[in-house]
Amino acid sequence: MTSALIQFAERGNVLSLADALKNAGFTIMVVFAVLCLIFIIISIAGKIFSATGISDKPAAAKTEAAAAAPAAAAADEEEFSSGSLKLKGCDEKTAAMIMAIVSDNTGIPLSELVFKSITLVEDK
């Protein structure tokens, strides 16, 4: 099939509609085939890693981030309740997540960070 398509490769040649459709179909088919193959390999690899227990040890950053979220939620209850943190258009869960992300990105422990307010900003 490929050799039949390649014969039109010279510059300046405008393909017929049938040939264009053939080439377009071939392109999307190969994209699907290659990504499908990677999907199969990655799925199998994932299953092997799960079976061997390797997946039970997630990447360090993920663990830290995951640990930071409940910490933020706890901090939300302990330190930022009763009006010291103003939430505008933002629920407590989202606020906790934002605080965890800020703490994680800046490397400053949550106990040392003070948030005055978190406001939802609407795009104009």
Partner 1 sequence: MIEVISDLWSQSGIANMTWQQGVMILLSFVLFYLAIKKQFEPLLLLPIAFGMMLTNLPWPGGGIFHPEWFQGGINWAALGGHGVDPVTGAEIEPGLFDFLYIGIKLDIFPCLIFMAVGAMTDFGPLISRPSSFFMGAGAQFGISFAFVMATILGFDAQGAASIAIIGGADGPTAIYLTSKLAPELLGAIAIAAYSYMALIPMIQPPIMKLLTTKKMRQVKMEQTRPVSKVEKICFPVIVSVVCILILPTVAPLLGCLMLGNLFRESGVTERLSDTAQNALCNIVTIFLGTSVGATAVGTNFLKPETLKIIVLGLIAFAFATVGGLLIGIAMYYLSKGKINPLIGAAGVSAVPMAARVASKVGQKENPSNFLLMHAMGPNVAGVIGSAVAAGVLLSLFG
Dihedral of the alpha carbons of 17, 21, 24, 30, in degrees to the nearest 10 = -150
- Amino acid (1-letter code) at residue 22: K
- Per-residue binding letters, 58-97, with partner 1 (x by CB under 8 A): xxx-xx--x------------------------x-x----
Length of the chain (residues): 124
Hey, what are 2's tokens?
């490929």
**CB of residue 17 vs partner 1: minimum separation in angstroms?**
7
Q: Applying CB under 8 A, which of residues 45, 67, 108, 114 lies at the interface with partner 1? A: 45
User: Which residue, among 68, 111, 76, 79, has the nearest Cα to 95 in the 3D structure?
Assistant: 76
**CB of residue 84 vs partner 1: minimum separation in angstroms?**
24
Q: Would you count residue 13 as binding partner 1 (CB under 8 A)?
A: yes
Q: Would you count residue 5 as binding partner 1 (CB under 8 A)?
A: yes
Dihedral of the alpha carbons of 108, 109, 115, 119, in degrees to the nearest 10 = 80
Shorter beta-carbon distance to partner 1: residue 50 or 84:
50
Report how far residue 95's alpha carbon sits from residue 15's, in angstroms, rounded to the nearest whole number. Answer: 56
Q: Are 117 and 85 in contact (CB under 8 A)?
A: yes
**CB of residue 29 vs partner 1: minimum separation in angstroms?**
9
Residue ranges in contact with partner 1 by CB under 8 A: 2, 5-6, 8-9, 11-15, 17, 20-21, 23-28, 30-32, 34-39, 41-43, 45-46, 49-50, 54-60, 62-63, 66, 91, 93
